[in-house]
Amino acid sequence: MLTHVPPRIALGASSLSLVVLYPYMKRITYWPQFTLGLAFNWGALLGSSALLAHVDAPVALPLYAGSVLWTLVYDTIYAHQDKVDDVHAGVKSTALLFAGHTKPVLAAFSTGFVGLLATSGYMNGQGAAFYALSVGGAAAHLAWQLRRVDLDGRESCWKTFASNRNLGGIVFSGLFIDYLLLTSGVLA
């Protein structure tokens, strides 16, 4: 006998197809980082569904799409450290696709991420701390990354890729301070 599966469980289970598909994408397309972004950031949809019993589309969809763009940025930087090996192995990546145009393309993706993060925050009623720290901080950090990274230097690519943990902390800090201000009554 089949019972009704709650939508949040079905949504969570549906992400497994992306997880299974990702390892094969390097052989099929120059956009495996896009598939990785779709899989890694599924939590933007799932978190909304788990908390609210539905996906709050005006908040969750811009967050999801923006986070996919962020994944394209950091994983393309990561892929640049392996580009010589990837050519010899016959696998594809956005690093190989964008080649000498990588920085302008990543600047566009970064701009998209920051804009969609701001849109998600606006739709969620976030306050000034979110915009100053999360959005402004993310924009500054991404600009720093693109200025700093040497796409032909493995160590530079690794360090820049790893600095994205800091970007996640920057976004979290604005959300957390916004939450503290709201719950303390400062913003009431």
pLDDT at 5: 61
pLDDT at 16: 78
Phi, psi of 115 (to 5 degrees): -65, -40
- Report d(CA 102, CA 167) in Å as an integer: 20
Domain-embedded: residue 73: yes
Quote the DSSP letter at residue 91. Answer: -
pLDDT at 47: 87
Domain-embedded: residue 188: no
Domain-embedded: residue 71: yes
List, for residues 24-37, the tens digit of each pLDDT value.
999 999 999 999 99
**Are 19 and 39 contacting, i.e. CB atoms less than 8 angstroms apart?**
yes
List, for residues 111-145, the tens digit of each pLDDT value.
999 999 999 999 999 999 999 999 999 999 999 99
Domain-embedded: residue 33: yes
Nearest to 163 by CA among 179, 152, 147, 176: 147
Query: Per-residue b/e over 125-160, b at no fewer than 16 CB within 10 Å?
Result: ebbebbbebbbebbbebbeebbeebebeeeebbeeb
* Per-residue confidence band for 77, with pLDDT thresholds at 50, 70 and 90: very high
Domain-embedded: residue 2: no
Question: Taken in order 25, 29, 30, 36, is the CA torsion positive or negative?
Answer: negative
Domain-embedded: residue 78: yes
**Are 36 and 71 contacting, i.e. CB atoms less than 8 angstroms apart?**
yes
Domain-embedded: residue 83: yes
- Write out the residue range of the structural domain in which residue 77 sits: 7-183
Domain-embedded: residue 1: no
Tell how far CA 160 is from the center of its chain: 15
Task: Please determine, for residue 62, whether its predicted confidence score (pLDDT) is greater than 80.
Answer: yes
Calculate the average pLDDT of the chain: 92
- Report d(CA 22, CA 42) in Å as an integer: 13
Question: Number of folded domains in the chain?
Answer: 1
Residues of the chain with pLDDT > 90, as a percent, come to 77
